[in-house]
Structure 1
Amino acid sequence: MFQPNSMQAANPPHLIFEAPESLQPIVKRLNNMGWPHYSYAMKLAGLDYPGPAILVYVVPETSQLGAQLPPWVSGFANGEASTIVLLAERVHSYPARAIEDLLVHEVAHILNHRAARGREIPRWFDEGIATIAARTWDIEDRARLLWAVGERDEFSLERVNMFFRGNAPTARRGYALSAGFVRDIIQEYGQDTPRRILALVAQDVPFPIAFRQVVSLLPHQAAEAFIDRQSVWLRWVPFVTSDFMIWIGISTLAFVAFGMHVRRLKIRRRQQAEEEDQDNLMFDYGELEQPTESEWGDSDKWRDR
């Protein structure tokens, strides 16, 4: 039986790929991924050893499986079977930026399953860990989270789980919320929070109890605190995007542009003045045509007229 906390050397998960000839270039890219790609996923799951080999099927869009799945589904994992399926040609939307991100995301699901020893964990927790394991949190994630939160009274973890059973927009909303919440938990309670929760679940502690033992709050209470922290951002968004702030922004840009224009004009004038001074210094008066001795003697020629 696989032991989640077995102390082993840091090695990436052993992946066995199956793919048609047309997708072998993609498989080659995925095979070149090393330990750094999976290290954060293993850290979040609390695994020192990734466990047995994982079978990864890379299938084309034209496959029978591709026809059966909703068009927004680009991959899925089965922890019990240690199997991953990737539809490589569908990697075009949040949260996966590239096929490499998608693979790490699905591997993280397998690792979470192994860390919990197959015990049940909520979908939002599993997806949240997998999403932040596969991508760096950036301004896109922040924007998607603000869009996804919506009204405070509408938010619940049960609703987040339901988003993953909907269409593409609701699924993206689920990813944004689950990743934002798990990231918030890590920031508030420490990097080891997910692995500590998974370790307790692996010992047959029900997830809500395991969560409370680590966080000192039940999941829904932590979710309420999370939404309260997001409300600070939500209060600023309408103000920042108001007509007044847009006018201020445009005016500021105009002043900056005018200042840059004046600065460039001054620099150009200074350069022209320096060039004129340089020309004067380099002018050779000896090159002027000098009058002959007879012309010097002809005073009438040089008399002012």
Structure 2
Amino acid sequence: MTRPWRAALGLFLAALLFLFVAPQAARADVSRPVGWSLASATSQVHVGRVTLRYDPRLEDEALAVAREIPRAWSEIEHELAGDLDDALTIHFVAHSGRIAEGTGVPQWAAGVAHPPTGEIAIAAHAPDGSLTDLDGLLRHEMAHVALYRATGGQPLPRWFHEGVAESFGEEIDLMRSQTLAGAIFGAGVPHLEQLEQNFRSTDAITVTVSYAAARDFVNFLRWRDEDGSDLRQALAQVKQGKNFEAAFVNGFGRTLAELDSEWRTGLTGRFMWFPIVSGDGLPMALAFPLVFIAAVRRRRHLRAGWARLEAEDAALRAPFAA
């Protein structure tokens, strides 16, 4: 199979995957007033300042979600702002249909966030009954809330909002990587000015490629410097009222166009594996080192997150003990 045909086939398969995975998609709702009523979430557990409300039938899954909260939030807030308001309310229900009934989002959305109030809803099952990726949904929606708080609710391009949420939602996403690689060696990766319009497209391939590109560009911004301080500085500038592009000049010392060009320069080299393996699929052996690195990072952030939340709980109890 020739390279152009392989790239086209990769994009076509990615589009099909997007259509089937869409019911598990997550989203941010920043305009709808929140009066969420997820009646089945009658039990609750507190993790620091986070309240997790859940369907009693999902107690085991809910406790697993609760164990992930400290690590996930700690990592996200550290990378976006250093420290943020930790108050969240998470609704965990059995089916995405319950989320649609309670929040008004489309039936296919298995996760939704309302950043102004810090409310999140996630579902254990998609409309077709398949299990959702709870960890990915949780992190995706947390990232929407954290980004809103890190920027003081200032308007942001949708490609950036979704790119940040996608970046934190999955540390490793082979489907997104293959989608982006197919575009690099195929029709081309859309430029930043195209992404905003592309997110409103009804074409599955266009939307899929745009999500993959936004995710990879945000990953580039997150890891461009050693400690991620450039991104935190840029977001702090946005919070202070700076124009989005001016904030990036102040934070990164580069315009968005220059950062975009720098990112694109390295794409072909980073995805050189695609023409080699696209005929037979990505060998799982290539993914093992990435999975191991992700596991180490998760354990480190989990320990740090629990330590911080335990310290906050102790500080809240101190006045009563006295």
Per the TM superposition, whether the score is higher than 0.5 is yes
For 2:248, the equivalent position in structure 1 comes to 211
Structure 2 counterpart SS, 1:32: helix
Q: Indicate how the Cα distance of structure 1 residues 159 and 75 shifts in structure 2: closer, same or farther if over 3 A, else same.
A: farther
Question: Which amino acid in the other structure matches residue 55 of structure 1?
Answer: T
Q: Does 2:91 align with 1:57?
A: yes
The whole-number CA distance in structure 1 between the counterparts of 2:99 and 2:122 is 13
Work out whether 1:102 is the aligned partner of 2:126: no
Q: For 1:134 and 1:228, how far apart are their aligned partners in 2?
A: 25
Which aligned pairs between 1:3-14 and structure 2 lie closer than 5 A? 14=49
Could you tell me which of 147, 158, 165 is aligned with 1:130? 165
SS at match of 1:121: coil
Structure 2 residue corresponding to 1:199, chosen from 225, 236, 243: 236
Is 1:74 matched with 2:144? Answer: no
8 Å CA contact 1:197–1:210 kept in 2: the answer is yes
CA contact (8 A) 1:19 1:27 kept: yes
Shift of 1:182: 1.2
Quick one: distance in 1 between partners of 2:155 and 2:251? 17
Which runs of 4 or more aligned residues in structure 1 lie more than 6 Å from their structure 2 counterparts after TM superposition? none
Instruction: Please report the TM-score for the alignment, with normalisation by the length of structure 1.
Output: 0.62
Please provide the CA RMSD for this pair.
Answer: 3.3
1:83 and 2:116 correspond? no
Identity %: 23
Larger gyration radius, structure 1 or structure 2: 1
Distance across 2 between alignment mates of 1:173 and 1:70: 22
User: Which residue number corresponds to residue 183 of structure 1?
Assistant: 219
Q: Tell me the residue number matched to 2:82.
A: 47
- Of residues 259, 263, 276, the one that matches 1:226 is 263
SS of residue matched to 1:205: coil
Q: Deviations over 1:11-62 (max 9, x none)?
A: x8732223333334332221222532322211221232x3152122223233
The structure whose residues are more often strand, as a share, is 2
1:108 and 1:130 in contact (8 A); partners too = yes
Query: How far apart are residue 111 of structure 1 and its match?
Result: 1.1
Alignment: residue pair count: 227
1:38 aligns with 2:65: no
Per the normalisation by structure 2, the TM-score is: 0.59
* Offset at residue 181 of structure 1 (A): 0.4
> Take 1:207 and 1:21, find their aligned partners in 2: how far apart are those partners?
43
Matched AA of 1:129: V
Structure 1: which 5+ residue stretches go unaligned?
1-11, 247-305
Correspondence for 2:196 among 156, 161, 170:
161
Aligned to 2:155: 120
Letter in 2 for 1:174: S
Q: Does structure 2 conserve the Cα–Cα contact (< 8 Å) formed by 1:13 and 1:51? A: no
